[in-house]
């Protein structure tokens, strides 16, 4: 009799696992919309370190889900007599969470929030696609060839097992599916989209009131790995991560590419959530610049050279919108990419001059495997132009070689870099200059740190790049 309690416990564990496997099978049937076949597997991870239940698809297809399900649930411990009155609310979860949550969630997750926190997205989405995203609670798909409808149905089914935002649903294929081999991961995210500036202020105020810090990355959208590295840097330095997505019209000149600037809000939100952003501030232009708006912020000395010479309105628009965004978000840390070196220096100066209580941090330039700096405008390049764009990073590396060899004459370094770029038939140089790394003042000889900055046209596409000679980072 001494072993009887262990035997009962083993029976209970076997019964609970049978219930879970039955539920997983139902989920896999829903995943049929993504054309899963025998040989796939499903791992459900509850949280970052919770239970992992691997299920082989061929096992699930051999035997359909038990119907009706195995009822009643196990009767150990014995039912309560007399029954609880009034009954416990909300009713216990069925099938039960395994392992159970300790401590229990309070307040309860169900009934669901009403009105819902997030309305369905309305920008550039079909009604069916918007409904899919809505049912999944901002469901982002990482990978290739995942059909969201099937994954959405799977998440609806798996919701009964206690999946929460942040949990992962992995579909693994050891062979090849639709010409692509690998692991396809669908990640539920609850990135909060805010469009009203007052609501954005309140959200950050609540965090700071609790003694928590806020990291912020302003962007114009069409996010790539360069942007996402800045989001991860902000999140690593602070408790919370905020990103803004706003294509600022005041920093584009009349002949520039405002109308054709690439936009992908749906994809941006999924990428931002995967990088760790919790809130996306996505204001409308009429909110940032209401009727009658006439105030501008300028940083004249830093904005005049380099890009400012050929884009005279650009940095006035940048300084103005950055000041407004920093006043709305009021972050502890704001992260800007070093690829836009002149912009970074302008923002640092305006933050000092206007006594803005924010730390401005520069994030390193992220490059493609061939060395070309990542940029949203790379999407405009033809195949031939993209191949020739490697000349920018080649010119920067050549300058470092000459600098390491002892060359300090600015004229010689600039001429060699310009010659290297001009050798490409599609390249048209806007400027190649070396200036003081802090003030951007012109120099004849490099005495300390100096920035070598480039701007080159390939067709109508203008690319920029830079390196700080004597600095810590090399291209």
Cis peptide bond prior to 68, omega within 30° of 0: yes
SS (H, E, C) 192-210: EEECCHHHHHHHHHHHHHC
- pLDDT on residue 348: 97
Across the chain, mean pLDDT equals: 75
Pairing of strands 279-281, 40-45: unpaired
pLDDT digits (tens, 9 = 90+) for 243-298: 999 999 999 988 787 888 888 998 999 999 999 999 999 999 999 999 999 999 99
Q: Which long-range contacts (CB under 8 A, 24 or more apart) does 131-137 make?
A: 133/266, 136/188, 137/165, 137/188, 137/190
Residue 19 burial class via C-beta count within 10 angstroms: exposed 0-12, middle 13-18, buried 19 and up: buried
- pLDDT on residue 259: 84
- Report, as an integer, the average pLDDT of 439-456: 96
Instruction: List the end-to-end C-alpha distance of the chain, in Å, as a whole number.
Output: 73
Q: Single out the catalytic residue among 224, 227, 240, 314.
A: 227
CB 36 within 8 A of CB 57: yes
More confident residue, 306 or 33: 306
User: CA quadruple 204, 275, 280, 115: dihedral positive or negative?
Assistant: negative
Of 160-174, 391-405, 407-421, least confident by mean pLDDT is: 160-174
- Report, as an integer, the average pLDDT of 2-6: 51
Look at the domain 192-363 and name its fold: Rossmann fold (3.40.50)
- pLDDT on residue 78: 55
Q: Which range, 68-72, 183-187, 424-428, is most confident?
A: 424-428
Label residue 88 by pLDDT band (50, 70, 90). Answer: low
- pLDDT on residue 143: 33
pLDDT above 70: percentage of residues in the chain: 60
52 forms bridges with which residues in the sheet?
A: 45
In angstroms, the CA 236 to CA 252 distance is: 32
In angstroms, the CA 231 to CA 458 distance is: 29
Asked if the model's pLDDT at residue 140 lies above 60, the reply is: no
CB 328 within 8 A of CB 200: yes
pTM of the model: 0.63
- Report, as an integer, the average pLDDT of 204-208: 94
Q: Who's near 147: CB < 8 A, 6+ residues apart?
A: 33, 34, 35
- Report, as an integer, the average pLDDT of 445-463: 96
- Report, as an integer, the average pLDDT of 34-59: 44
User: Encoding tokens for residue 323?
Assistant: 């000041």
- pLDDT on residue 11: 64
Of 161-175, 194-208, 219-233, least confident by mean pLDDT is: 161-175
CB 357 within 8 A of CB 388: no
Asked if the model's pLDDT at residue 21 lies above 60, the reply is: no
Angle at 356 (CA atoms; ends 337, 274), nearest 5 degrees: 40
Label residue 386 by pLDDT band (50, 70, 90). Answer: very high
Look at the domain 376-469 and name its fold: 3.30.1300
- Report, as an integer, the average pLDDT of 444-470: 96
Asked if the model's pLDDT at residue 124 lies above 90, the reply is: no
- pLDDT on residue 258: 85
CB 141 within 8 A of CB 186: yes
Q: Which range, 9-18, 50-59, 81-90, 280-289, is most confident?
A: 280-289
Residue extents of the structural domains in the chain: 4-188, 192-363, 376-469
pLDDT digits (tens, 9 = 90+) for 60-83: 444 454 555 555 555 555 555 566
- Report, as an integer, the average pLDDT of 447-462: 96
Residue 224 falls in the annotated catalytic set: no
In angstroms, the CA 297 to CA 471 distance is: 30
């Amino acid at each position: 009799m001494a072993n009887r309690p262990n035997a009962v416990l083993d029976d209970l564990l076997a019964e609970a696992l049978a219930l879970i496997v039955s539920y997983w099978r139902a989920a896999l049937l829903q995943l049929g919309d993504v054309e899963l076949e025998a040989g796939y597997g499903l791992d459900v991870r509850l949280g970052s370190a919770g239970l992992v239940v691997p299920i082989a698809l061929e096992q699930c297809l051999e035997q359909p889900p038990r119907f009706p399900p195995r009822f009643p649930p196990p009767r150990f411990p014995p039912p309560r007599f007399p029954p609880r009155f009034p009954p416990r609310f909300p009713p216990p979860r069925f099938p039960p969470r395994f392992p159970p949550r300790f401590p229990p969630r309070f307040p309860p997750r169900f009934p669901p929030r009403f009105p819902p926190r997030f309305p369905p997205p309305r920008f550039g989405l079909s009604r069916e696609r918007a409904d899919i995203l809505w049912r999944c609670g901002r469901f982002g798909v990482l990978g290739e060839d995942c059909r969201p409808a099937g994954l959405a149905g799977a998440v609806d089914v798996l919701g009964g097992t206690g999946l929460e935002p942040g949990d992962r649903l992995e579909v693994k294929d050891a062979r090849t599916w639709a010409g692509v081999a690998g692991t396809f991961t669908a990640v539920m995210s609850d990135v909060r989209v805010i469009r009203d500036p007052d609501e954005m202020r309140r959200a950050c105020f609540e965090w700071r009131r609790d003694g928590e810090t806020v990291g912020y990355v302003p962007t114009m959208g069409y996010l790539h790995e360069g942007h996402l590295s800045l989001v991860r840097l902000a999140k690593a330095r602070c408790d919370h991560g905020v990103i803004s997505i706003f294509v600022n019209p005041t920093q584009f000149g009349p002949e520039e590419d405002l109308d054709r600037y690439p936009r992908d809000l749906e994809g941006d939100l999924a990428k931002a959530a995967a990088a760790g952003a919790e809130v996306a501030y996505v204001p409308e232009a009429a909110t940032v610049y209401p009727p009658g708006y006439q105030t501008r912020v300028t940083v004249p000395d830093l904005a005049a050279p380099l890009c400012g010479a050929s884009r005279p309105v650009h940095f006035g628009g940048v300084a103005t919108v950055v000041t407004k965004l920093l006043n709305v978000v009021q972050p502890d840390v704001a992260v800007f990419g070093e690829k836009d070196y002149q912009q970074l220096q302008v923002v640092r100066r305006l933050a000092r001059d206007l006594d803005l209580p924010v730390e401005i941090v520069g994030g390193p330039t992220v490059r493609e495997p061939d060395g070309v700096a990542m940029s949203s405008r790379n999407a405009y390049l033809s195949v031939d132009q993209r191949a020739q764009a490697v000349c920018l990073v080649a010119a920067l590396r050549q300058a470092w070689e000459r600098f390491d060899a002892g060359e300090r004459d600015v004229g010689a370094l600039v001429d060699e870099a310009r010659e290297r770029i001009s050798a490409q038939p599609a390249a048209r140089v806007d400027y190649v200059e070396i200036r003081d790394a802090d003030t951007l003042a012109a120099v004849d000889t490099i005495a300390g740190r100096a920035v070598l900055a480039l701007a080159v046209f390939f067709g109508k596409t203008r690319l920029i790049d830079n390196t700080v000679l004597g600095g810590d980072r090399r291209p």
